[in-house]
Amino acid sequence: MDIAKDLATIYRLCAQEFPAGQGYFLVELETGPVPPDGSRERTADDVHAYLQGIAQRLNDRWAEQLPWGQLTVRERMGRGEEIPEPWATLALRTDVLNVWQAEDTGRWIALGVADRDDQDEIQLLAAVTEMDPP
């Protein structure tokens, strides 16, 4: 895990044009493989701690924000409300997001740990979008 590399990825995505027809980027910054025996090499706690290291630097740049719980968004989706991407995917894969709005570009940056399914790899996800959070 390399905080400088992952910050550079986030900053690059903030400046880069979105793919045609898609108003966001959603990337896996870090992934912990699930070994064949089902045990995890990286624990969710390891990835959450790493996220906090990145978050501290983003807080220094764009001001500290309170974490956003995803339960309400999942409940809204369950009632049939359409939640735009990348927020819908993030709500289904993460329990909590750290979210900032980049002052220089107006884009939203979200970080979350995808660890809701014990059978899946633990992933640190980053999203960059112009779509306001739900």
Total domains present in the chain: 1
- The answer to whether the beta carbons of residues 74 and 25 sit under 8 Å apart is no
pLDDT tens profile 46-105: 888 999 999 999 999 999 888 899 999 999 999 999 999 999 999 999 999 999 999 888
Share of the chain above pLDDT 90, in %: 71
In a domain, 24, yes or no: yes
- Which residue's entry shows tokens 């290291």? 53
Name the residue range of residue 118's domain.
3-129
In a domain, 134, yes or no: no
Q: What global pTM score does this model have?
A: 0.88
Strand stretches in 47-93, DSSP E: 68-69
